[in-house]
Structure 1
């Protein structure tokens, strides 16, 4: 029985990204996927700049960026087709060096993630295997799988990571129940190719029609998606009839202009697992949280789970950090997932209102709200902020910035223009506007094994003041705005781009570094392994 540092159950979007991240760290990983063949579901999906940042750290941003379609913005139409409001997309420069929102063809993305695993001899993929049961003790997890032709197989690993979706076998094995956040609707999605002579909206559209709420999503190339709410008087099985589906679809498009690829009725829920960890077993993605797709957060939440967990597992297995660091995964991600579900649920209630009188009042309120705003409304991903977990605690300047998402601008280095993530790679890092504070951070980090490889970046200097300090120059307006907003001069940033904390004085900085060491360190630790 071969041993692995991590066993991943599920090779969908979340499991695929997680396997690439851990593979890039150098971990020995087994990926167990129940489907023997890549199904390649035809559909569009939305992702954001945090997802692309994770793809970048996995070494896949290039091929993914070549395939995505910039989000064109969204229009909202009320009863009778009346225009309510429009959301435009932010233009360059982007605070994380990536577009805030973009649209992808999901099978293409899944293919890129799967092909990315071919880079790693340390990642082994087992297709057609289903997790049947698992047992764990203080040192390892033993997983039993079932293959239809080859029978049962045993896998031994340090950790089991359940990325196996809504019907997760890992979650069932953990006996983790689901919290219902109060949404239960049926919608039908129709993916189609649009013929070249079709004239359709350039932007995505939310049809807030009380008689039939729906949505139109612009995908890459000629791919488009329509989503329609299944009414209380309908049975989801009615949409198995292509004639019935086409008749309903005529509310939104001339069906003679499209070639339908697939039609799928799906139940939309807001469900979050009570427990995301049981000893050496963890839940990620759809296994941990099932959310409405209305804000594009369904897949993005899984990507954030993967990135959050990957760097922490890297720091524990290869970096000498204490295993208690893994406890912060659920403390951070579960509240964020619950907040995303609540936001998507609110949008569902707005778009999906079926009472004509209430819908009319809604339209009037939304129109008035748009008129009250002097500037055009800009489409932005949900703001991420950590309120608990592996962030600085206490009072003072460093507490105020703790948990905020740190910008990733383009910076000018001695090696040319680079993204900040390429300069610091995957360890904790420091960004400072103050030379003295940067030198203190470099000295403190150099003497601590668990942080010895962490980078210190000094903004605005052209000549290195210490060998360990990377000097960057350029306009860096996003960096200046971030520091000004919190009134600080130096920040310690986590590998996933969230600020651990920030400081203004040498005393605050030393206290901040001490608190980080207490959270990470254990005896005989070594430096956190960079990607």
Structure 2
């Protein structure tokens, strides 16, 4: 049956907007709905990382964040006297293997407004002030029933796929009857955003302040904004914490009341929750609808962006390139374990703050569990995807399957002259340092999946240490459309082995 659209996206916050833009960029017909008419006017997310900027680069939208963001000089755990306990420095001009700075602090109302402009200019059909009522599965499509909140009229349309990006209280998740798993962090925190009235003299690093009297977080948001997060102590009420005099007292070590304007103060329950399923039939959940974590890693929005890219390229491959629908099963297989790591890691940072505070109170700041220290800033990095559409089905350190391939760059000293992800194309890509000779059946297969072939020149390897390091390990890499490595050749794995395995996994 011909449906009204290919994909309906429910919820048009950052994750839903990115999904819609990625899909429409490949000529997929998208209907996007949101209960609200306007974007949320206050900041919630404040951090985008190198992987997020690389994703936005696919759409030439990275400047939305670059022009409204500020790089930080590090992230640390501090004691009650604001002395460093542990953490990491971020050198100026440092670029990760993704070709961008590790983190950028932004002001969400600015960036969301610009993303909304791009969404409204796109080919997506956008229905604002529209509430989801029901999702009715009918054979191989869905009837999506909605309510127009301006006139009270009900409407319905048909879609092949439904993506729930509708936040922590997701209606899509509830309609699909997905349960949530509690990952053992559940505390009340006061979040305060301020706008500076004076020239900034505050640090440009993020800090988890492990004061035995009250742990708190300081975030150097994009100027002129700053954020603090304070844990509520036993017996403290939401009403008490939201009093202006209370907030002023909490911020007094940093600023006097006449030096700032409070633009948001709210008490939140910081949860660690993971939805038990990310997919049912052809209905998916992404972002906060799928996972919620404390903000200590700054990875809430980024987990949603990773969901968006992972799901989008698979939907594009199925809808546009006619790859088998079984490919979509790997969305949950890949994203759920990775999301669990982020949720667990965020909770671990909160637990490390409390452990440091307890140790400081006892006079021995170093007396904290090593397993918590190992989850702190600078002690770990996000892992590869564990299993899914990779050679033999799993990540592998030798072949680098499951890891992100470095972005090709041209450099001038330590400065990036040009980012060249576009050389990899939008689909699968075979990367090598010498031309790959294909057998007839391989030519046919790679044409079917619309693969690109890229031979990396020595001059680029000499300029790019990340790329040079990867290409010195193995000769040929097969990349997925999301830049994750499917697998690579070695003394044990031939290009024919890789091709056959990929062909079998795509059922071609």
TM-score normalised by L of structure 1: 0.87
2:17 alignment counterpart: 16
* Residues 480-519 of structure 1, C-alpha deviations (whole Å, 9 max, x = no match): 21234xx321110111111000003697111111111222
Determine the C-alpha separation between the residues in 2 that align with 1:205 and 1:399. 36
1:424 alignment counterpart: 424
Q: Considering only aligned residues, what root-mean-square deviation do their CA atoms show, in Å?
A: 3.0
User: Which secondary structure does the structure 2 equivalent of 1:159 belong to?
Assistant: strand
More displaced 10-residue stretch of structure 1: 504-513 or 214-223: 504-513
2:142 alignment counterpart: 141
2:341 alignment counterpart: 339
Q: CA deviation at 1:131?
A: 0.7
* Residues 104-125 of structure 1, C-alpha deviations (whole Å, 9 max, x = no match): 111122112211113323x011
The answer on whether the counterparts of 1:398 and 1:502 sit within 8 Å (CA) in structure 2 is no
1:4 alignment counterpart: 5
1:387 alignment counterpart: 386
* Residues 153-207 of structure 1, C-alpha deviations (whole Å, 9 max, x = no match): 1021010000000000000000000000011001111111112245222322221
1:409 alignment counterpart: 408
1:440 alignment counterpart: 438
Is 1:477 equivalent to 2:450 in the alignment?
Answer: no
The answer on whether the counterparts of 2:72 and 2:204 sit within 8 Å (CA) in structure 1 is no
Is 1:276 equivalent to 2:278 in the alignment?
Answer: yes
The answer on whether the counterparts of 2:396 and 2:402 sit within 8 Å (CA) in structure 1 is no
The answer on whether the counterparts of 1:84 and 1:366 sit within 8 Å (CA) in structure 2 is no
Q: CA deviation at 1:9?
A: 0.3
More displaced 10-residue stretch of structure 1: 507-516 or 308-317: 507-516
The answer on whether the counterparts of 1:44 and 1:225 sit within 8 Å (CA) in structure 2 is no
User: Which secondary structure does the structure 1 equivalent of 2:403 belong to?
Assistant: coil
Determine the C-alpha separation between the residues in 2 that align with 1:43 and 1:164. 15
Picking from 418, 433, 450, the partner of 1:453 is: 450
* Residues 422-441 of structure 1, C-alpha deviations (whole Å, 9 max, x = no match): 11221010111344xx2338
Q: 1:291-370 maps to which residues of 2 (within 5 A)?
A: 291-353=293-355, 356-357=358-359, 359-360=361-362, 363-365=365-367
The answer on whether the counterparts of 1:17 and 1:58 sit within 8 Å (CA) in structure 2 is no
Determine the C-alpha separation between the residues in 2 that align with 1:397 and 1:307. 22
1:57 alignment counterpart: 58
Q: 1:396 to 1:17 in 2, by over 3 A?
A: closer
The answer on whether the counterparts of 1:271 and 1:290 sit within 8 Å (CA) in structure 2 is yes
Determine the C-alpha separation between the residues in 1 that align with 2:288 and 2:242. 25
The answer on whether the counterparts of 2:137 and 2:143 sit within 8 Å (CA) in structure 1 is yes
User: Which secondary structure does the structure 2 equivalent of 1:352 belong to?
Assistant: helix
Q: CA deviation at 1:520?
A: 2.0
More displaced 10-residue stretch of structure 1: 71-80 or 339-348: 71-80
Picking from 167, 170, 173, the partner of 2:172 is: 170
1:496 alignment counterpart: 482
1:526 alignment counterpart: none
Determine the C-alpha separation between the residues in 2 that align with 1:155 and 1:395. 39
Q: 1:180 to 1:362 in 2, by over 3 A?
A: farther
User: Which secondary structure does the structure 2 equivalent of 1:183 belong to?
Assistant: strand
* Residues 416-459 of structure 1, C-alpha deviations (whole Å, 9 max, x = no match): 97533111221010111344xx2338x66531266453111112
Any gaps of 5 or more consecutive residues in structure 1? 463-471, 523-531
Any gaps of 5 or more consecutive residues in structure 2? none
Determine the C-alpha separation between the residues in 1 that align with 2:356 and 2:75. 21
Q: 1:100 to 1:202 in 2, by over 3 A?
A: closer
Determine the C-alpha separation between the residues in 1 that align with 2:51 and 2:359. 39
Determine the C-alpha separation between the residues in 2 that align with 1:417 and 1:228. 41
The answer on whether the counterparts of 1:23 and 1:120 sit within 8 Å (CA) in structure 2 is yes
1:508 alignment counterpart: 494
Determine the C-alpha separation between the residues in 2 that align with 1:368 and 1:269. 24
Determine the C-alpha separation between the residues in 2 that align with 1:357 and 1:340. 25
1:519 alignment counterpart: 505
Determine the C-alpha separation between the residues in 2 that align with 1:111 and 1:183. 32
Q: 1:65 to 1:425 in 2, by over 3 A?
A: farther
Aligned length, in residue pairs: 499
Determine the C-alpha separation between the residues in 2 that align with 1:201 and 1:93. 22
Determine the C-alpha separation between the residues in 2 that align with 1:396 and 1:426. 22
Is 1:47 equivalent to 2:48 in the alignment?
Answer: yes
User: Which secondary structure does the structure 1 equivalent of 2:73 belong to?
Assistant: coil
* Residues 357-402 of structure 1, C-alpha deviations (whole Å, 9 max, x = no match): 5654662257999xx99xxx98598423011011111799897421
TM-score normalised by L of structure 2: 0.90
The answer on whether the counterparts of 2:3 and 2:141 sit within 8 Å (CA) in structure 1 is no
User: Which secondary structure does the structure 1 equivalent of 2:304 belong to?
Assistant: helix
* Residues 257-297 of structure 1, C-alpha deviations (whole Å, 9 max, x = no match): 21111101100111001011110110000000011110001
Determine the C-alpha separation between the residues in 2 that align with 1:506 and 1:456. 22
